[in-house]
Amino acid sequence: MTASQLPATINPVADLAGHDDRAWYVAWNPTKPILASCSADKSVRLYSYREVSSESEPSTPATSLKFSHNTTIPTGHTKTVRAIAWSPSGKTLATASFDSNIGIWEQEEGGEDEGTTGEWECMSLLEGHETECKSVAYSSTGTLLASCSRDKTVWIWEVHPDADFECMGVLMEHTQDVKCVAWHPTQEILASASYDDTIKLYLDDPSDDWYCAETLKGHDSTVWSLAWEPSEGRYLASGSDDSTIRIWRVTPQGMSDIEAECAIILEGHGKRPVQSLSWSKGIKTEDGSLGWLASAGSDGCVIVWEIKEHRSENADIKPSLSYRILAKLEGAHDVFDVNCVSWCPRRGFEDVLATAGDDGHVKVWRIAFNA
Amino acid sequence: MSAEIFNPNPTIFATTKSKTTYAKPSSLWLDESDESDEDELDGNNEREEIDQDEIFELIRSISDPEHRSMTLEQLAVVSAPQISFDSPSSSSRRNVTVEFTPTVPHCGMSTFIGLSIRVRLLRSLPNRFKVEIRVKPGSHQSENALNKQLNDKERVAAALENPALVEVLEQCLAGATA
């Protein structure tokens, strides 16, 4: 099926150059109109955006998005900044670096006023990992932070006031490099993905430590990326070097156990690795829709999949999943690989996504349904 | 580098002279471009494509990390027939697979050799070339682990931020020194 026959297209909104080296990751601030990106150039760049009306062209939508560079945080990390994560409040930014540290950043007071920007300061440096940090993530309430590294460990930190962090657990479950950590959207369940081809799910034992409650096996190679179904977290998507995306049904059993099984496998990136996933509620078009899953592959493509759940009237039969490709974008960053794809989480921008590429560019896109 | 010697007495092979002209008409992938004549008409594909021999030219002179006076070609670690191409349809991308043969199945330098080939090609080839590095099937006891590591872009990127490793890498890329 060619792109033109698909229900929607992915249209360019902004092309943000600026990083001097490969851009690894993009993260939308959940509360403010800010987009952050990080790079092998060791910096974090922040962009602000606003809606502008384009009355001159009545054929186009009434508003479009205008992005402008806000500030660059040099970070002080001595190696690549691989990933970044905003706290749910949007006030704190965490950086995961190949220098094996996690940085915690906040903007100085006074920067809240319109037009002025306070300096971004490093409030804390979380040391503990022995080798490159690959991913960092805040829990839905912002009270916990998870990080992972090539040292095969996953660390869980409790977030205290005044940028104070306490390590709650070091999980040594994977046998290899841990590539990604992702928190459940509503509960304190953590997922991690690894070079050992598995995904692990962790729970907190109130009377003891964090522990691995389930291991998801099925991928044939490194699992690069994870994305929870955003509304209820009943499904977890994983993207792998084996070129497939798997969607797992995750069912907590009481407080202390989790059941998980693969519900569907998506293939659309040829034989190339799936590098990044992002799952948004989307703009629901039909009942049973679980939203839009965006995937970015080493084939340079970005694909938007609409995932649907079909429940049986018989409660004993588990629901099944189906998908349709809403839109596909080839050569999102020309001949360069796409390292990250991320949906904007803010209300009114559910159809906006950003990508980061090996060309050092950050690009912003919007989904438009074809007439 | 490690003091352990993995292959103390490697076999040395005769090398060919550096080619100043490339034998385009005999290149092995010519058939493929014949099939896609229509694609050839537009823009990018019109120019002469980089072939096996040109890729080989780029990597033959890299010196062996264990025997610095010898090249990967002299030790028959790399050869032109071990280079292959495939071009995904409707894309200007071009996938190159470079296979290499460690001199002994327990060669602890294989990761490093693979990395040096990758870096040379990263620096020399246009960005649309996507390089995959693999050891020759059956030539190494940790074949799968090696292939996985050499093609993990994150690990490659991290390795290239390691100053000690990069220093040795640069020496090997500078070519064999007697």
**How far is residue A105 from each of residues A47, A132, B102, measured CA to CA in Å?**
16, 19, 46
Minimum mean pLDDT range among A34-38, A199-203, A287-291, B30-34? B30-34
CB of A176 less than 8 A from some CB of B: no
Minimum mean pLDDT range among A81-85, A269-273, A313-317, B97-101? A313-317
* CA distance, residue B1 to nearest chain A CA (Å): 20
**Domains plus CATH for chain B?**
48-173 (3.30.300.130)
Q: In this predicted complex, what is the ipTM?
A: 0.92
Q: State residue A335's pLDDT score.
A: 94
Is B141 in a helix, a strand, or coil? coil
**How far is residue B111 from each of residues B133, B154, B160, B167, measured CA to CA in Å?**
10, 15, 13, 15
> pLDDT > 70: what percent of chain A?
94
Above 70 in pLDDT, residue B19? no
Minimum mean pLDDT range among A41-45, A62-66, B24-28, B137-141? B24-28
Above 60 in pLDDT, residue B138? yes
User: B87: nearest CA in chain A?
Assistant: A299
Above 50 in pLDDT, residue A146? yes
Distance CA B147, CA B134 (A): 5
Q: Which range marks the domain in which residue A9 is found? A: 3-369
Beta-bridge mates of residue A9: A368
Distance CA B96, CA B83 (A): 7
- Residue among A131, A195, A335 minimizing CB distance to B127: A335
Minimum mean pLDDT range among A26-35, A57-66, B61-70, B79-88? A57-66
Say if residues A342 and A34 touch (Cβ distance below 8 Å).
no
CATH of the domain at A240: 2.130.10.10
Residue B114's contacts (CB-CB under 8 Å, 6 or more residues apart) are: B100, B133, B135, B146, B150
Kindly state the average pLDDT of the residues B133-158.
Answer: 96
Mean pLDDT over each residue of chain B, to the nearest integer? 83
* CA distance, residue B51 to nearest chain A CA (Å): 19
Residue B9 has, within 13 A of its CA and on its CB side, a CA count of 0
CB-CB neighbors (< 8 A) of B128 in chain A: 335
* CA distance, residue B161 to nearest chain A CA (Å): 7
How do beta strands A63-73 and A81-86 pair? unpaired
Q: Quick one: DSSP state of residue A282?
A: -
- Residue among B88, B126, B154 minimizing CB distance to A299: B88
**Burial (CB count <10 Å: 0-12, 13-18, 19+), residue A75:** buried
Above 70 in pLDDT, residue A55? no
Q: State residue A2's pLDDT score.
A: 56
CB-CB neighbors (< 8 A) of B125 in chain A: none
- Residue among A177, A330, A359 minimizing CB distance to B91: A330
Mean pLDDT over each residue of chain A, to the nearest integer? 93
Residue B89's pLDDT band (boundaries 50, 70, 90)? Answer: low
CB-CB neighbors (< 8 A) of A241 in chain B: 148, 152
Q: State residue A60's pLDDT score.
A: 53
Above 70 in pLDDT, residue B129? yes
Say if residues A1 and A8 touch (Cβ distance below 8 Å).
no
Residue A165's pLDDT band (boundaries 50, 70, 90)? Answer: very high
Kindly state the average pLDDT of the residues B124-136.
Answer: 95
Q: State residue B26's pLDDT score.
A: 44
Of A42, A100, A132, which to mutate for an interface test with B (greatest number of B Cβ within 10 Å)? A132
Better-scored residue on pLDDT, A270 or B91: A270
User: How many domains are there within chain A?
Assistant: 1
Say if residues A233 and A250 touch (Cβ distance below 8 Å).
yes
Residue B65's pLDDT band (boundaries 50, 70, 90)? Answer: very high
- Residue among A80, A134, A337 minimizing CB distance to B161: A80
CB of A336 less than 8 A from some CB of B: yes
CB of B153 less than 8 A from some CB of A: yes
B135-138 own/partner pairs: CB under 8 Å, 24+ apart: B135/B99, B135/B100, B135/B101, B135/B102, B135/B110, B136/B82, B136/B99, B136/B100, B136/B101
Say if residues A357 and A23 touch (Cβ distance below 8 Å).
yes
Q: State residue B107's pLDDT score.
A: 83
Of B93, B130, B148, B149, which to mutate for an interface test with A (greatest number of A Cβ within 10 Å)? B93
H or E segment at A258? strand A257-267
